[in-house]
């Protein structure tokens, strides 16, 4: 297998795996957070404004990890840093 | 139809001469800046406090007062020193995320350069506001709370949360525009519209998150010891008042219960006497 094929295979595989595994953790965490927030709102409906705001801020923080994985996957697919150099070496 | 399937608007170059590059990020940043500045100037030319105000002044008043109340709620301090910085942050990001709906508009927040610049602004603003309100020594002592061993973690935390701010906003906006462009190539007509709506919602939420996180960071850096003690004292006083009120309520309830019991006892006594008399009469 030549270098070009190897880089392509590993890039595609890694990109898929990165986003697949990287979104499990944040999804579970966000589900737990929303469940607890709903319980809190049910207990104290007066504070629902504060609780909602805090929930959204917390969700954004938890979402960050999934966004990191998404950015890595997109960079590997669309702006692969090794693709051009390995193509050059194969062509030249 | 040409779809710009790029990872960032930096690669769309409109004009270039030597090292000066005019790419889509810069041009659309200027567009958003122009809209904000010219729009505000036009509206605030004739500010009045009369009962009838134009609807544009009403809009600006609602926006500014809402941001002010949010800052006051989150930092629990006077929001006026921070209103300019945090309000501008929110309005710039919100407007640039909102204009995604306009065709051919590339949001400048979809480029890591813009979001890194905004995160850097927050990174610099936190010590500036902190030192302005607590002094250099007071601000630096915050890094040793709760203990001196946390000093490296606090410093690392500062850097990592700045990077997180930049990458969070960039990732959300870039993925939104990229998915929209991709879907336009594969599934035209309905699915891209739904994805565009979703990207709009995410954009507004991310603008709010960015501003709220900046507010929280600045608020935690400017909260002085005296204010914490004052808050503590207020909370303790509220608790004591609540206790005395509840104890007064309990006393009142007890006395009412005693009266009730006494009246009930007298009632039963009277009833028994009457029955006695009747039985006596019968006999």
The answer to pTM > 0.95 is: no
The helix/strand/coil state of B43 is helix
Please report the ipTM that was assigned to this predicted complex.
0.77
Interface test with B, best of A22, A55, A60 (most B CBs within 10 A): A60
Long-range contacts (CB closer than 8 Å, 24 or more residues apart) made by B157-163:
B158/B123, B158/B126, B161/B213, B161/B217, B162/B119, B162/B120, B162/B122, B162/B123, B163/B119
Chain B residue whose CA is closest to A60: B209
Any chain A CB within 8 A of the CB of B216? yes
Residue among B281, B100, B263, B62 nearest B195 (CA): B100
Distance CA B196, CA B100 (A): 8
User: Per residue of chain B (283 residues), what is the pLDDT tens digit?
Assistant: 344 567 788 888 888 888 888 888 999 999 999 999 999 999 888 887 878 888 889 999 999 999 999 999 889 889 999 999 999 999 999 999 999 988 888 899 999 999 999 999 999 999 999 999 888 888 888 888 788 888 888 899 899 999 999 999 999 999 888 888 888 777 777 888 888 888 898 899 999 999 999 999 999 888 866 666 676 777 778 888 888 877 777 788 787 888 888 878 887 788 887 877 777 776 6
Distance CA B128, CA B124 (A): 6
Structure token pair of residue B172:
């959300």
Chain B residue whose CA is closest to A78: B7
Any chain A CB within 8 A of the CB of B164? yes
Distance CA B58, CA B90 (A): 19
Distance CA A26, CA A35 (A): 14
Chain B, residues 96-125, CB within 8 A of chain A, namely: none
Give Cβ neighbours of residue B166 (< 8 Å, ≥ 6 apart). B112, B115, B116, B118, B119, B120
């Amino acid at each position: 297998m030549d270098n070009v094929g190897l880089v392509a295979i590993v890039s595609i595989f890694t990109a898929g795996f990165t986003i697949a595994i990287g979104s499990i953790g944040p999804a579970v965490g966000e589900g737990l957070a929303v469940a607890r927030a709903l319980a809190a709102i049910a207990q104290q409906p007066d504070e629902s404004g504060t609780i909602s705001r805090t929930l959204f801020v917390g969700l954004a923080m938890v979402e960050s990890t999934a966004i990191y994985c998404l950015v890595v996957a997109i960079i590997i697919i669309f702006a692969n840093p090794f693709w051009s150099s390995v193509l050059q070496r194969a062509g030249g | 139809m040409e779809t710009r399937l790029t990872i960032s608007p930096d690669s769309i170059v409109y004009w270039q001469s030597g090292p000066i590059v005019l790419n889509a990020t810069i041009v659309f940043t200027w567009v958003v800046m122009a809209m904000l500045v010219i729009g505000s100037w036009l509206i605030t030319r004739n500010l009045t406090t009369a009962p009838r105000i134009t609807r544009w002044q009403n809009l600006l008043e609602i926006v500014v007062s809402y941001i002010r109340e949010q800052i006051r709620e989150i930092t629990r301090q006077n929001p006026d020193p921070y209103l300019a910085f945090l309000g501008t942050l929110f309005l710039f990001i919100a407007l640039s995320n909102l204009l995604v709906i306009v065709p051919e508009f590339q949001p400048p927040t979809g480029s890591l350069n813009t979001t890194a610049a905004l995160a850097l602004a927050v990174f610099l603003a936190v010590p500036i506001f902190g030192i302005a309100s607590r002094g250099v020594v007071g601000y630096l002592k915050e890094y040793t709370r709760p203990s001196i061993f946390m000093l490296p973690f606090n410093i690392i935390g500062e850097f990592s949360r700045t990077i997180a701010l930049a990458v969070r906003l960039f990732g959300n906006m870039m993925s939104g525009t990229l998915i929209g462009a991709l879907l336009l190539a594969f599934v035209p007509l309905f699915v891209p519209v739904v994805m565009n709506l979703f990207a709009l919602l995410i954009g507004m939420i991310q603008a709010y998150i960015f501003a709220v996180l900046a507010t929280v960071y600045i608020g935690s850096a400017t909260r002085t010891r005296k204010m914490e003690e004052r808050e503590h004292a207020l909370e303790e006083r509220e608790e004591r008042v609540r206790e005395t009120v509840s104890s007064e309520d309990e006393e009142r309830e007890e006395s009412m219960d005693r009266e009730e019991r006494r009246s009930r006892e007298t009632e039963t006594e009277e009833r028994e006497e009457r029955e006695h008399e009747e039985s006596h009469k019968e006999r």
